Amino acid sequence: MLCINCGKRQATTHIKQTVNGQTHEYHLCPECAMKLGMASFNPFDLSDLWASLFKNETPAVSETVKCPSCGSTFEQIAKRGKLGCPECYKTFYDELLPSLRKLHGKTHHTGKVPGNADESTKTARELKTLQEQLQAAIESEEYEKAAQLRDQIRMMEQQEGDQ
């Protein structure tokens, strides 16, 4: 997408602004964003958020435990608020898990379904969500809710099978 200001360079800064209920989108190249004072717009730094999550709960991990790929220690990760590389997730999984749960509420990324996804993808995601809700209802002994969810799942699976 080209910059809406100069129309010459690729837009890398994307800004959405809502004023009086009307939303406008601006797509700017780095040069135009800088000229307009929007290049350094960053409401907060995610590394600060990560670091604050680790501050109070830095587990007792030996300084000798290092990521085999990048050499980072957990203490360095906690101070920086950033992982050194993808391998750090595997190396420090047990130490990262409490903070990931606190931040996301879950330990696996589910993402969003794109608006242009086909119906089978949307249905599969909805079925998975219903099955998770069913499991939670069973665990919390909400059997009436569980029965409703079970019936809803069966109906969706039957409709999917008919297609």
pLDDT of amino acid 107: 63
Q: What confidence tens digit (pLDDT) does each residue in 32-58 have? A: 888 877 755 555 555 565 666 665 554
112, part of any domain: no
Query: Is the pLDDT assigned to residue 82 strictly greater than 90?
Result: no
pLDDT of amino acid 74: 86
Going from the C-alpha of 42 to that of each of 15, 38, 65, the distances in angstroms are 11, 9, 34
pLDDT of amino acid 43: 52
Same domain, residue pair 81 and 128: no
109, part of any domain: no
Residues 6+ apart with CB under 8 A from 24: 16, 17, 18
Same domain, residue pair 55 and 35: no
- Structural domain for 50, as ranges: 46-104
Same domain, residue pair 78 and 91: yes
77, part of any domain: yes
Confidence class of residue 154 from pLDDT cuts 50, 70 and 90?
very high
1, part of any domain: yes
Query: Is the pLDDT assigned to residue 106 strictly greater than 60?
Result: yes
Query: Is the pLDDT assigned to residue 126 strictly greater than 70?
Result: yes
Same domain, residue pair 51 and 29: no
| Best mean pLDDT range from 23-37, 56-70, 143-157 | 143-157
Residues 6+ apart with CB under 8 A from 95: 59, 61, 74
Quick one: which of 94, 89, 95 has its CA closest to 75? 95
| Number of independent structural domains in the chain | 3
pLDDT of amino acid 78: 81
